[in-house]
Amino acid sequence: MGAGDLQLTGEGGFLPGLIKAVLERGLQAAALTDRLGHEKGDPAVRSVDRLIASRSRGR
């Protein structure tokens, strides 16, 4: 392989690295959801957030 070639498989390859990154990101998202008690973008939570923000601005 030349210096500009991309290794797709095997140790240090693109695909194993991509799979590892995707799995880690998913685990982090699941842990955050568990910690917060709701998923990102949950409409019920957004409504409460908007209500709190409007009251803090004096509306």
Q: What's the CA angle centered on 31, arms 27 and 37, to 5 degrees?
A: 140
Torsion of CA 9, 10, 14, 16, to 10 degrees: 100
Tell me the pLDDT tens digit for each residue of 21-43: 999 999 998 998 888 887 777 77
Indicate the pTM of the whole model.
0.55
The three-state secondary structure class of 4 is coil
Q: How far apart are CA 17 and CA 52, in angstroms?
A: 42
- Alpha helical stretches, state H, the chain: 14-36, 43-56
Residue 38's contacts (CB-CB under 8 Å, 6 or more residues apart) are: 44, 45
**Mean pLDDT, the chain, whole residue set:** 82
